[in-house]
């Protein structure tokens, strides 16, 4: 049963021209909020033409939305231990093309924080997987909540969205907060030698819909 989360309001909105390291550039309008339940400084980036009747392709004009969890090592430094950097880059371009919003959620390391994520990496180097490492450190396998994301969508006036994600938990949580997810659009998969084990674990343990090359 869906429960509408506490009301958040738009605090500031401002134009932010974006240019990525590979030269791709697009305009964005960035929003901050008051009243988010976890008190964190999450951002929404409006991209492309959100009023286009063709927004998000055939998905009934629902804007294309991606909740992206902050990953300092992947997003900023290009770490190859995960696929966050390429996923963020892809999401910005696809949303700019379709019209929609990227929600940049400050929940590093599946919600456990940056230092704990690095500790989990160190544990993974001893042979445990990404979920087991979080549990060994006293955390849940995945502590991310999308309640604040739902508050942001409601504040932006969005109750119907097409969700750009391979993670079924995001759709489930948003629906439980009164957001109609009318379509789920899959993202690309970015495999490298350093992250293939991480991606296999996400597919197996997190029920992510990923098409990974089978091990030889």
Binding residues for Zn ion, rule: CB under 5 A, are 71, 74, 82, 84
Rounded to 5°, the CA angle 59-64-68 comes to 145
Laid out side by side, the sheet with 9-19 consists of: 9-19, 25-34, 43-47, 100-105, 64-69, 160-164, 180-185
C-alpha–C-alpha distance, residues 203 and 41, integer Å: 29
**CB 20 to Zn ion: min, Å:** 16
C-alpha–C-alpha distance, residues 91 and 178, integer Å: 23
C-beta of 2 vs 118, nearer to Zn ion: 118
**CB 175 to Zn ion: min, Å:** 25
C-alpha–C-alpha distance, residues 81 and 62, integer Å: 33
Which residues in 97-198 belong to E strands, given as ranges? 100-105, 160-164, 180-185
Q: Is 142 a residue of the active site? A: yes
Q: Is 50 a residue of the active site? A: no
C-beta of 84 vs 179, nearer to Zn ion: 84
**CB 42 to Zn ion: min, Å:** 17
Residue 212, SS3?
A: coil
Catalytic residue among 66, 94, 110, 144: 144
Catalytic residue among 142, 169, 186, 204: 142
C-beta of 82 vs 112, nearer to Zn ion: 82
C-beta of 107 vs 173, nearer to Zn ion: 107
**CB 15 to Zn ion: min, Å:** 28
Angle between helices 168-176 and 147-155 (to 10 degrees): 60
C-beta of residue 50 within 8 angstroms of C-beta of residue 97: no
**CB 67 to Zn ion: min, Å:** 14
> Catalytic residue positions?
142, 144
């Amino acid at each position: 049963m869906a429960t509408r989360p506490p009301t958040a309001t738009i605090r500031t909105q401002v134009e932010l021209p974006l240019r990525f390291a590979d030269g791709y550039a697009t305009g964005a309008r960035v929003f901050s909020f008051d009243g988010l339940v976890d008190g964190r400084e999450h951002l929404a980036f409006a991209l492309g033409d959100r009023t286009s009747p063709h927004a998000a392709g055939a998905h009934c004009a629902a804007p294309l939305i991606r909740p992206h969890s902050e990953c300092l090592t992947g997003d900023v430094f290009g770490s190859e231990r995960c696929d966050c950097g390429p996923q963020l880059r892809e999401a910005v371009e696809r949303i700019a093309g379709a019209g929609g919003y990227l929600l940049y959620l400050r929940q590093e390391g599946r919600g456990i924080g940056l230092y704990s994520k690095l500790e989990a990496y160190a544990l993974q180097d001893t042979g445990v997987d990404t979920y087991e490492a979080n549990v060994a450190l006293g955390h849940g396998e995945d502590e991310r909540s999308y309640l604040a994301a739902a508050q942001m969508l409601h504040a932006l006036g969005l109750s119907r969205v097409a969700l750009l994600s391979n993670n079924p938990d995001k759709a489930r949580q948003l629906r439980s907060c009164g957001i109609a997810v009318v379509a789920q659009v899959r993202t690309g998969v970015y495999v490298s030698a350093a992250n293939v084990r991480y991606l296999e674990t996400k597919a197996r343990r997190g029920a992510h819909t990923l098409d990974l090359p089978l091990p030889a």
